[in-house]
Amino acid sequence: MSAGKWRNVHRSDPCAICGKGDWGSRTVDGGWALCRRVEAGGERRLDRAGSEYWLHLVGDAPKGPPQVPEEPRSARAPADDLDRVYGAAIRHLGLADRHREELLRRGMDPTAIENRGYRSLLQRGRAEIARELLARFPQDLLLSVPGLQIHSTQSGRYLSFGGPAGLVVPVRDLAGRVVALKVRRDAQDDGPKYLYISSTACGGPGPGAPVHIPLQSGQRIPRDAVRVTEGELKADVATQLSGILTISAPGVSAWRGVIPVLAELAPKVVHLAFDVDAATNPLVARATEATAEAVALEGYDVVLESWDSLLAKGVDDALVAGLPIQLAPAQVRRLESRPHPSGRPDKHQSSGPHAYRATPGGLVWERQTQNGPVTVQLTNFRAFIATDVLDDDGAEVRRRFEMEARLNGWCRRFTVTADAFAAMSWVTEHLGARAIVYPGLGLRDHARAAMQVLSGDVPERHIYSHTGWRQLPDGWAYLHGKGAIGAGGSVTGVEVALPDALAGVALPDPPSGAELRAAIRASLRIIDVAPDHITFPLLGAAYRAVFGEVDDFAPTSAAGDVDVKPV
């Protein structure tokens, strides 16, 4: 995969895929575009925060998509220090009347407005904020807090506080600590409505992608049900008005971070309340479906909230307007109840003498004893074989497995060799230190067996990595970079992945009709480039190849002596 240099899109140079001035970038040569909105035709990727994006080929570019470099990360302060610094900044700032009135219109009462720490960030006075913080905290600590940055001018260098002008919304973690600040911009333009306060543009730390848990400000809110939405202020308003704790994903496609938070909150039911434009916005529709499936897979009951989309876009707007909220069970593809198409057990349960199950907490073995079944924990993660791959270079065939594993709400896909899979030596390498295969006599073998049994009927891929003639199930065919060509033309269903040195060996689809006749005539014209005793054997050898293997032969001289040994 080739490397490439990237630049972010903006309003004057928008994304070539969605036409917007944010949520995207492109390579400097214009060959590739990265879009976080439009999926069709793109290659799906995940960034470090678990958010989806798609790579689109928009011009002439190398064969494979380029690498998307992760921005280098400066060390961000621990959550306790972030809370101390941001808390001091919040106490220094005031709240403009227009922002207070806006919060009141959205259903917040004066007490909640003060307790939750909403403030106004003006365009002026940034150096004063920094001086106030510098009087209380060391500069090294402040430079590890997103938003604090060094500015250089002709008169010298000074510490300042970044971020756009607007309404500041504190982003809080489960402990109620302020771990980031998000601003609802005052500017009325085509730019994003909300932006994190960050120092990444100056080489400093960014805020990450924290999930927001509203401060409950004296409310006793039961946690039997938890609502998931997108937008910190929206979550605050929904919690305040509905009495249902509403947590916010950092973005509509960055829902993966909510899974560990739900594990801590341990609700019985999870409500999903993304904006009701799923019917027209494929990004929202895809995120809603993916979130519902992931949450259901963790064992929670999932319901979808909806309301009159003509009167309100978000759940907060619907609650402020007093609209009824309809609840409907999410129609998700829950693997626990989905029968396997082959009639074999599904990927979450097996039967027989070795009964295995996949649970939210990992793989378990229902060991049969005289006193009935006993549940034995095998792993704290779930892993299945997604694809059985045969790599065939013409000399030998090597087997590898494409695996899918889930741990603490995160899903990872990776490849292990068949030998490594059998030895179970791949777990920490691909899943990290948190992945555990529990100790015990034979439990490692049971964990491996559970993965194989629960994977069901694993599809197999045969990938050829060489060119030339090969006998396939449907007859002889010639392998090249784009597939295979047989007696009847292009052969479908043949997967070829050549090494980089052979990447250029790619043949067009065989012609037909007049194009075929013209191609044959062009081939025959080789006889005109050299004497007949040279060109006829060469041309004959090429056409002879399609009729089968060449027999051993021994050319002789006029005297009958053997001049060439058999090949």
Answer with the residue of higher pLDDT: 360 or 549: 360
64: left (phi over 0), alpha (psi -120 to 50) or beta: beta
pLDDT at position 96 is 96
In this prediction, residues 445-464 reach a mean pLDDT of 91
How far, in Å, CA of 534 to CA of 541, rounded? 11
Give the mean pLDDT of the chain.
83
Strand spans (E) along 260-409 = 269-272, 301-306, 326-329, 355-359, 362-369, 372-377, 382-392, 397-407
Q: How confident is the model at residue 344 (pLDDT cuts 50, 70, 90)?
A: very low
Sheet holding 225-230, edge to edge: 245-249, 225-230, 269-272, 301-306, 326-329
Confirm whether 79-202 and 225-329 share one CATH topology: no
The answer to whether the CB of 361 falls within 8 A of the CB of 377 is yes
Tell me which of 209 and 426 has the higher pLDDT.
426
Task: List Cβ neighbours of 460 (8 Å cut-off, separation of 6 or more).
Answer: 387, 388, 389, 390
CA angle 380, 384, 388 (to 5 degrees): 150
Residue-wise pLDDT for 30-52, tens only, equals 888 888 777 666 777 777 656 67
Residues 141-164: tens digit of each pLDDT: 999 999 999 888 777 888 999 999
Rg (CA), the chain: 31
How do beta strands 245-249 and 225-230 pair? parallel
Which pLDDT score, from 0 to 100, does residue 281 have? 63
Give the C-alpha separation, 486 to 502, whole Å. 20
Confidence of residue 562 (pLDDT cuts 50, 70, 90): very low
Looking at domain 79-202, its CATH architecture is: Alpha-Beta Complex (3.90)
Residue 83 has pLDDT above 90, yes or no: yes
Mean per-residue pLDDT for 460-468? 91
Q: Is the pTM of this model over 0.85?
A: no
Q: pLDDT tier at 349 (50, 70, 90 boundaries)?
A: low
pLDDT at 61 over 70: no
Confidence category of residue 129, pLDDT binned at 50, 70, 90: very high
Pair 305, 276: CB distance under 8 Å: no
What is the band of 553 on the pLDDT scale with cuts at 50, 70, 90?
A: low
pLDDT in tens, 101-127: 999 999 899 999 999 999 999 999 999
- What is 225-329's CATH topology? Dna Topoisomerase Vi A Subunit; Chain: A, domain 2 (3.40.1360)
Window from 169-183, 386-400, 441-455, 540-554 with minimum mean pLDDT: 540-554
CA 9 remoteness from chain centre: 21
For 382, what's the count of Cα atoms within 13 Å in the CB-facing half-sphere?
22
| Res. 203 pLDDT band, cuts 50 70 90 | confident
| CA distances to 124, 467, 480 from 499, in Å | 58, 10, 11
* Structure confidence at residue 220 (pLDDT): 67
Beta strand pairing call for 460-464 and 495-496: parallel
190 or 189, which is more confident: 189
Tokens of 81: 């220090």
Cα–Cα distance for residue pair 31/4, rounded to 1 Å: 10
Question: For the chain, what percent of residues have pLDDT higher than 70?
Answer: 84
Provide the residue ranges of all domains of the chain, joining segments of one domain with +.
Answer: 6-57, 79-202, 225-329, 355-462, 513-567
Is residue 217 over pLDDT 90? no
What residues are paired with 427 via a beta bridge?
none
Rounded to whole angstroms, how far apart are CA atoms 280 and 267?
Answer: 31
Residue 15: CB atoms within 10 Å: 24
Interval 422-449 mean pLDDT: 91
The residue among 298, 301, 270, 272 whose CA lies nearest residue 285 is 272
Planar angle of CA 207, 220, 93, nearest 5 degrees: 40
Residue type, 265: L
> What per-residue confidence (pLDDT) applies to 565?
43
pLDDT of residue 133: 95
